[in-house]
Amino acid sequence: MNRQLQIDDFSLRAHCLAVERLRADPTRIVDLSATLERWQMQSGETRSDSHWAEWRTMLAAGVDAIEAATCSADDHAVVLRSVSPAGILITQEERDELRLAAGLGAVQPGERRSSSTGRTP
């Protein structure tokens, strides 16, 4: 599998896990909304604005809408996952496990790690 497909697989796995977290505690949608709001305030106008607007709509609609829009392999879901605030719902250890499951290998020393903000799961 080429690297881009591995990255897409990782992202899909991460979002499916995030949806599981939201099903267990739907109040975490507030955390996602706050993250999205902070990103928009910090970045100003970007090409992601239309996708962030879609995220706001999904967050308002609830977990089923988030799952339907992000937990599939279609191109639009891939784009939505690329601008998603859902990363705050998974731990670094889980990210590492998902990387391995997607065939990306372990994070190497000096390689940039994604940072999570907000509450831990």
- pLDDT per position as a tens digit, 80-113: 999 999 999 998 888 888 778 777 776 665 665 5
Average pLDDT over residues 20-24: 97
pLDDT for the residue numbered 85: 95
Please name which of 62, 61, 60, 80 lies closest in space to residue 12, comparing C-alpha atoms. 80
